[in-house]
Amino acid sequence: MIQAKGYAAQSPTTDLAPWNFDRREVGPHDVQFDILFCGVCHSDLHQIRNDWFPGIFPMVPGHEIVGRVVKVGNHVKKFKAGDLAATGCLVDSCRTCENCREGLEQYCLNGHSLTYNSTEQDGKTPTYGGYSNTIVVHEDFVLHISDKLDLAAVAPLLCAGITTYSPLRHWKVGKGHKLAVLGLGGLGHMAVKFGVAFGAEVTVLSTSPKKEADAKKLGAHHFVLTSSPEQVAAAKGIFDFILDTVSAEHDFALYLSLLKTNGTHICVGVPSKPSEIPPFSIIVGRKSVAGSSIGGLPETQEMLDFCAANNIVSDIELIDIKDIHKAYDRMLKGDVRYRFVIDMASLQ
């Protein structure tokens, strides 16, 4: 076994703390890479607190992982020692179902293996994430990243990036479309960057007037303060798509009223409690409420290549791992522009 060290929650009521554990040995198709940076996702906090479902403890969070390869298995063809590498939210899937065969491993019909708080495909071996110094992953779930970009700022692309890139690509959002991005946080700021890069007319919807300057700086064409009845009234029925990144409770009827006829409200944020959608808010105007997860491996690689070609990365604040709880507190207050990333050298 490979000795690893990281930060883990021992239970839903304990703080993250240093923890030593074992990774599997590098198999014929495995890649081991030392982790240089790991992004901090709101879902990390949700999962260590059991907000969504009972977790597997001890839990080592982290699924926005970039690093450098130190060892590969005998049959590995895609990577060699010294290469940069990345892993996002998935470390395996069944490989055989219809969705997996189409490169949609995020929708694996037999159950994929998440990077943490999950099990390997044997159904019993826990997975441990990127708040650690090294990781071993099957080469099919390891991604290539460019050395032309800031590696720390690349890390959040593995979740925040692909979570917003995938629905925009699926619904073919681009030139001629009016896209509203609801919420300007870790997900929202990437949605703005991608929406603009794809040629859409982008508007940020936010309850905070302080976000307007940042929205414009990120490339948004317009800003609507949703706590202003006048601004909301002026925005009624104008958007083709709303990409909803909000993970707190919010009023769907209000935002659905901003869609055009046949408009689509796409949910990528995950509130802790179920949302209410009044039937008339979708019946009138033949509107749709849809959802999207991350992307599959082919699409995630496509996204990383697109970012390298277009110089797109996340706006980040680099932190020491010992400051993770302060980062969580600030994240809950929206006090981050726009993604925390852990410098894993601080774990040494």
CA distances from 156 to 13, 90, 100, 176, 191 (A): 26, 14, 24, 28, 13
Spatial distance between the Cα atoms of 24 and 3, rounded to a whole number of angstroms? 9
Section 212-238 average pLDDT: 97
Q: Which domains does the chain have, with CATH numbers?
A: 2-159+295-347 (3.90.180.10), 161-291 (3.40.50.720)
Spatial distance between the Cα atoms of 66 and 146, rounded to a whole number of angstroms? 11
User: pLDDT: is 61 or 248 the higher one?
Assistant: 61
Given CA atoms 319, 323, 328, 334 in this order, what sign does their dihedral have?
A: negative
User: pLDDT: is 223 or 53 the higher one?
Assistant: 223
Output the furthest CA–CA distance in the chain (Å, rounded).
Answer: 64
The amino acid occupying position 91 is: V
Spatial distance between the Cα atoms of 65 and 128, rounded to a whole number of angstroms? 12
Structure tokens at 155: 């890390």
- 3 state SS of 321: helix
pLDDT tens string 230-269: 999 999 999 999 999 998 889 999 999 999 999 999 999 9
Whose tokens are 């409420």? That residue is 289
H helices of the chain, where?
42-48, 98-101, 151-154, 160-170, 186-197, 211-218, 229-234, 252-256, 280-283, 297-310, 324-332
Strand segments, DSSP code E, in the chain are 2-8, 17-23, 30-39, 65-72, 84-87, 90-92, 113-114, 134-138, 178-182, 201-206, 222-225, 239-244, 259-267, 288-291, 316-319, 339-343
Element (H, E) at 253: helix 252-256
Q: How confident is the model at residue 216 (pLDDT cuts 50, 70, 90)?
A: very high
Peptide bond preceding 271 in cis form (omega within 30 of 0): no
pLDDT tens string 13-57: 999 999 999 999 999 999 999 999 999 999 999 999 998 899 999
Section 332-339 average pLDDT: 90
pLDDT for position 224: 98
Q: Are 90 and 297 in contact (CB under 8 A)?
A: yes
Residue 348 has pLDDT above 80, yes or no: no
CA angle, 332 then 334 then 336, to 5°: 110
Section 285-301 average pLDDT: 98
pLDDT for position 212: 97
Spatial distance between the Cα atoms of 101 and 75, rounded to a whole number of angstroms? 21
Residue from 7, 123, 131, 118 nearest 55 by CA:
118
pLDDT tens string 100-138: 999 999 999 999 999 999 999 999 999 999 999 999 999
Q: How confident is the model at residue 84 (pLDDT cuts 50, 70, 90)?
A: very high
pLDDT for position 181: 98
Residue from 159, 185, 182, 191 nearest 304 by CA:
159
Q: Report the percentage of the chain scoring pLDDT > 70.
A: 100
Q: Are 7 and 21 in contact (CB under 8 A)?
A: no
Section 8-15 average pLDDT: 96
Contacts 24+ apart (CB under 8 A), 95-103: 95/140, 102/296, 103/296, 103/297, 103/298, 103/299
Residue 127: HSE in the Cβ half-sphere, 13 Å Cα cutoff: 27
User: pLDDT: is 272 or 195 the higher one?
Assistant: 195
Average pLDDT over all residues of the chain: 97
Residue 272 has pLDDT above 90, yes or no: no
Residue 86 has pLDDT above 80, yes or no: yes
How far from the centroid of its chain's Cα atoms is residue 259's Cα? 25
Given CA atoms 212, 213, 215, 219 in this order, what sign does their dihedral have?
A: positive
Q: How confident is the model at residue 286 (pLDDT cuts 50, 70, 90)?
A: very high
